[in-house]
Each structure stands twice: as C-alpha cells, then as structure tokens.
C-alpha cells in the first residue's frame, strides 16, 4: 500500500501553527484537534519544523512552566523527516522506527499535502492483513 492511499482514506488536513505562536497556544491546538504533533509553518504549506507532545514535555522538564509563554520555534524540531505519496507503507514503518518519530508530513513538489502518523501506518497494515486473511479463508472454503 502507498501513502497516497492512506491520505485518500483519512484526508489531507494538516494542523499547523506559526513559529512565533506560544507553547501555550500549541497546547490548545494539540488538545482541540486531538493530535500528537503540529507542523510549524508560517503559511500552512511551507514547513519550518514540527513540534510534538514529546517536544513539549522535554521543554517543560528543562525550563519549567516558563516555557509556556515562549515561542514554538524554541522547542520545535527543525529537521523534519518527510515522505512522498508514492512511498510504500512498509518503508515508512521502518523509517519511523529507525528515527523514533511518530508523524511524517507528506510532501509533493515541495508542498505539504498531508501528514501520516504511526497510528495511520499501523491501521493500514492491519487492514491489509485482514484482507489477506479473508482471501485465504475464501480460498480454503471456496
């Protein structure tokens, strides 16, 4: 299965936040949208980073509650791993595991067109296994 199929099923909405927004505003966006990471972008298509719940926890540990008033750009990860719609789910799973990341923006021609999470990857793999199982049962009982 390709990443484009995951996006077709789940949609291509990407939650973004401006680099100068506060960490407090980030927490509201994470909670309101029920997501674990937000792409940092000045214009919702060009990425300058990604910030996750994990980044917030690490910043709170290092700086305490004062970090809540600071900008997202101070805690974001600025080296963003991405994928393409043509990438296969299996390679994405390996890349996410290798780099210990849970969210990958999907990019085409330099523009962000979606985002996939480890949950999306696992869900698609389970669906593939279920389809294979059904085909095998039909073959055996056919």
Q: What is the pLDDT of residues 75-104, one digit of tens each?
A: 999 999 999 999 998 888 888 989 999 999
Q: In the predicted model, is pLDDT for residue 65 greater than 80?
A: yes
- The more confident residue out of 101 and 131 is 101
pLDDT at 115: 94
According to DSSP, residue 65 is labeled: G
Distance CA 35, CA 26 (A): 11
CA 93/CA 117 separation, integer angstroms: 10
Residues 7 and 2: their CA atoms lie apart, in Å, by: 9
Residue written as token pair 């095998």: 136
Contact (Cβ atoms closer than 8 angstroms) between residue 103 and residue 95: no
- Stated length of the chain: 142
Whether residue 142 is predicted with pLDDT greater than 90 in this model: the reply is no
pTM recorded for the entire structure: 0.84
- Strands 16-17 vs 37-40: parallel, antiparallel or unpaired: parallel
């Amino acid at each position: 299965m390709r990443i484009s199929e995951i996006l077709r099923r789940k949609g291509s909405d990407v939650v973004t936040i401006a680099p100068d927004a506060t960490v407090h505003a980030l927490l509201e966006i994470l909670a309101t949208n029920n997501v674990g990471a937000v792409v940092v972008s000045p214009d919702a298509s060009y990425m300058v980073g990604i910030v996750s719940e994990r980044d917030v926890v690490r910043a709170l540990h290092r700086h305490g509650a004062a970090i809540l008033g600071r900008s997202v750009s101070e805690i974001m990860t600025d080296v963003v791993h991405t994928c393409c719609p043509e990438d296969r789910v299996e390679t994405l799973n390996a890349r996410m595991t290798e780099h210990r990341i849970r969210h990958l923006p999907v990019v085409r021609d330099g523009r962000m067109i979606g985002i996939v999470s480890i949950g999306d990857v696992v869900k698609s793999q389970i669906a593939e296994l279920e389809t294979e199982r059904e085909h095998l049962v039909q073959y055996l009982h056919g």
